[in-house]
Structure 1
Amino acid sequence: MLKKLFAFGLLAATAITANASGLDSLEQFVKTAKTGRADFTQTVTAPTKEGQPVRTKTSSGVFEFARPSRFRFNYRKPFEQTIVADGQTLWLYDVDLNQVTSRKQSTALASSPAAVIASAPDLKALQADFVLTSAPDKDGLEWVLASPKAKDGLLQSVRVGFQGVELSVLEIVDSFGQRSVMRFSNLRVNAPLDAGAFQFKPPAGADVIQQ
C-alpha cells in the first residue's frame, strides 16, 4: 500500500514556481519536447515528528513520454513497478503484489506533475489547472512553481527545475507533507520510441482493481 502511495503521489495535484526564464524554459520544453526518454532517481522523504529520525526511500528507473497524454514510468529498483498512461486509462502495475490498478486518465492527470512534464500539450492547458508563479534560480537551475487551482487535491506543491530547456528535477510535496524529488539524467528529446511503450495489458493472473 505504501509503495502504491509513493507511485500515485507522482500523479496527484501540483504547484510550480518560476522566474521569467524558468517559465520560458517550461514553455519551450512543453512546446518542443514531443517525445522523450530519461533515466530517473526518486527520493521520497516521509514527514517526521520531533525527535524521530528522517525516513527516506529511493527508487530508480526509466521515464518515457509522448505528448499529448501518454507516458510510462518503469521503476526497476528496489521494486519493479510500472505506471502507464495510454491516452485513455492510467495503469499502475505492482509486480510484487501481482496487482493492477486502473483509473480513468482524464480525471487522474489534469492537476498532476505528470501533466506538467509529459502530458499537457501547451502552457495554456497548464494554466487552466495551475497558477504559475516565479521562484529564484537555485543549484544552477531555473525553477517553476505551480499552485493547483483545485484546493482539495492530494498535492501541496510542485517545483520543476530546468537547465536551459532541459528537464532536470521534479520536486513534489503532497498534502500529508511527504516530499518526493525526482532527478532526471540521460534525457533524449524527440528520439524515436517503441510503438508499444504506451500500451499496457494486465498480466495473466494479476488482480485488477478499477478506481
Structure 2
Amino acid sequence: MQPTFIASIRAVRRFALAAAIAGLCAAPAWAGGLDSLAQFVKDTRFGKATFTQVVTAPPKQGQKAHEKTSTGTFEFQRPGKFRFHYQKPFEQTIVADGQTLWLYDVDLKQVTARKQEQVLGSTPAAIVAAASDLKALEKDFQLEGEPDQGGLQWVKATPKARDTQIQSVRVGFKPADGGATLAALDITDSFGQRSVLTFSDFQGNAALPASTFDFKPPPGVDVIRN
C-alpha cells in the first residue's frame, strides 16, 4: 500500500510541475497580444492600409449564415482621426475629423453627422485610432490577452458600458521588426452579427496629406445631424 501511495504522490507532483511549466510557457504567448496593443497605441501615431470586411449575420432557423464582403482603404491619425473608404460593392465613406463623425452613403446621396465624443468611446475605432495609450483604452474596455492564432497575437476588448451595441472586439497583430502591425479586427455586436476586417499593405507612421481627414458634404446631398 505504501509504495503505491508514494508513487501516486510522485505522479501528482510531476503533473503539477508539468502544469506549472506549461503555464509559464503559455504566459508570454497570452501576454503578446497585450504587449503588441500597448506598443501599437503608443508608437503608431498614424498609418494606412487596405482592408477586406466580411459581415456574417446570425443564421435563421433552418438557413445558412449569410455573408457580405466589402473592400476599401483605411487611414488614421491619433488622436481621433480616421477615414474608411468602402469602394466595393457599394461606395461609402466614414470620416472622423476630430470633432465630427461623418457617414456618406453615395447611393443614397445622404450624409449623417454626429459628434465624435458621443459615439466613439466604446467602438473598434477607439482601439485603432482614438486612444493615446493603454490606460485610456482601459477606461472603456476590459482587455484580455488571448492565445496566438493563425500567426497573429490577439487581444479581446469588451466594452465596459452596458448600452453599447458592441459585444466584443478581438484585435489581431502580426509581430514584425520594429513593432507590431495591425492585421485584423473581429467584431461581434449585441445582435450576434460578426464583422471581420482583414488589413493588408499596412504602413505604420506613413506620411498622410493634411486633407485626408477633411470632409465637406457634396452639393445636392441630404445632411442629417444627430
Normalising by structure 2, what TM-score? 0.84
SS at match of 2:148: coil
2:8 corresponds in structure 1 to none
Question: Offset at 1:167?
Answer: 0.5
Tell me the equivalent position of 1:178: 193
State the superposition RMSD in angstroms: 1.0
Q: Is the 8 A contact 2:72 2:84 kept in 1?
A: yes
| Partner Cα separation in structure 2 for residue 98 and residue 141 of structure 1 | 39
Alignment equivalent of 2:123, drawn from 95, 112, 130? 112
In the alignment, which residue of structure 2 is the partner of 1:166?
Answer: 181
Partner of 2:86: 75
Match of 1:15 in 2: none
Greater RCO between the two (CA within 8 Å, min separation 6)?
A: 1
Aligned to 1:148: 159
TM-superposed CA distance for 1:75, in Å, is: 0.4
Aligned to 2:36: 25
Secondary structure in structure 1 of the residue aligned to 2:149:
coil
Structure 2 counterpart of 1:19, one-letter code: W
- The alignment partner of 2:118 has SS state of helix
Corresponding residue number in structure 1 for 2:214: 199
Residue 209 of structure 1 corresponds to which residue in structure 2? 224
Counterpart mapping for 1:92-111 below 5 A? 92-111=103-122
- Equivalences, count: 194
Give the superposition deviation at 1:19: 2.3
Please give the secondary structure, in 1, of the residue aligned with 2:218.
coil
Check whether the contact 2:110–2:221 (CA below 8 A) recurs between aligned residues: yes
Post-superposition CA distance 1:13-63 (Å, at most 9, x none): xxxxx9211000000001111110000000000111231122110000000
SS where residue 136 of structure 1 aligns? strand
Instruction: Decide which structure has greater helix share.
Output: 2
User: Post-superposition shift, 1:134?
Assistant: 2.3
Residue 24 of structure 2 corresponds to none
Question: How high is the sequence identity, in percent, across the aligned residues?
Answer: 63
Structure 1: stretches of 5+ with no match in the other structure: 1-17
Q: Which amino acid aligns with 1:190?
A: N
C-alpha distance after superposition, 1:150-184 (max 9, x if no partner):
01110111100011111101000001110000000
TM-score in terms of structure 1 length: 0.90
Would the aligned equivalents of 2:185 and 2:198 in 1 still touch at CA under 8 Å?
yes
Which structure 2 residues correspond to residues 123-134 of structure 1 after superposition, within 5 A? 123-134=134-145
Which residue of 1 is the match for residue 47 of structure 2?
A: 36
Work out the CA distance in 2 between the residues paired with 1:201 and 1:68: 21
Structure 2 residues without counterparts, runs of 5 or longer = 1-28
Within 2, Cα distance between the matches of 1:59 and 1:198?
Answer: 21
Structure 1 residue ranges (4+ consecutive) displaced by more than 4 angstroms after TM superposition: none
